[in-house]
Amino acid sequence: MNIFLNPHVFSNLVLAITSLFVFFRYFRLQPVLIRWLWGIFFGSISLVAFTDLLFYAGVDGLEMAHEILEAGEMTLGALCLVTASWCLIMRYESGSLLFYSTVGLGALLFYCITWFRVEYVGLIIKAFCILVTLLISCVGLANRQKSALWTLFSMMLLALSTKSGKLPLPMDPVDINHYMMVLSIICVGKAVRDQYKILF
């Protein structure tokens, strides 16, 4: 049987490829430290999707790796998203202090979640980071920034993806989650593309 006929495998493949494509397509010209922040965010999503893909393809022994990578996505990746979005919308060039503070705090939260095995706290952190990024987008909208509108769409899709099990769509909630994350990632790429454009 062709493993790509499994919808979970296919949706994870689409998510992993889209994350990498959007990063290398839209973020090449960003300042180095900001590019690293976006790279951590996109890289964490790609790694989780790739691990998921291997799991659904029948590879054994990936449960622990998947838990660790997912915790990294919900903590370090989410915090990098907040800081990178702030720099994008406020047109602020990240300094070393901001970069290392973000990565350090994210790594600390990641360590605490994996060490104490309280993965549910990661969901709270991720939801909080989405909310903060939405608020940053609203500030950008007040300044008529087009990138803020794309970021707002992205965070709405990312928030909806966490509630995929409650959406009345004729598809498995796992695949709905993946495809909504794909749309969210594309919106982030559009936000970077339109960084210096004004609405209206």
Task: State CA 119 to chain mean position distance.
Answer: 17
Q: Where are the domains of the chain?
A: 3-193
Secondary structure (DSSP) of the chain: --GGGSHHHHHHHHHHHHHHHHHHHHSTTS-HHHHHHHHHHHHHHHHHHHHHHHHHTT--S-HHHHHHHHHHIIIIIHHHHHHHHHHHHTT----HHHHHHHHHHHHHHHHHHHHHT-HHHHHHHHHHHHHHHHHHHHHHHHTTBHHHHHHHHHHHHHHHHTTGGGS--SS-HHHHHHHHHHHHHHHHHHHHHTTT-B--
Q: Residue type at 5? A: L
pLDDT digits (tens, 9 = 90+) for 26-62: 998 888 999 999 999 999 999 999 999 888 887 887 8
- pLDDT for residue 196: 80
Written as six digits, the tokens of 80 are 């990098």
pLDDT at 173 (0 to 100): 84
Q: pLDDT tens, 74-91?
A: 999 999 999 999 999 988
The pLDDT of residue 3: 56
Output the pLDDT for position 153.
94
> Residue 31: which region, alpha, beta or left (left: phi > 0; alpha: psi -120 to 50)?
beta
Q: What pLDDT is stored for residue 163 in this prediction?
A: 81
d(CA 126, CA 114) in angstroms, rounded, equals: 15
Residues in the chain with pLDDT values less than 70: 1-5
**Per-residue model confidence (pLDDT) at position 1:** 47
Report the amino acid identity of residue 154: S
pTM: 0.90
- What per-residue confidence (pLDDT) applies to 91? 84
Residue 193 vs residues 29, 144, 183: alpha-carbon distances, Å: 10, 15, 15
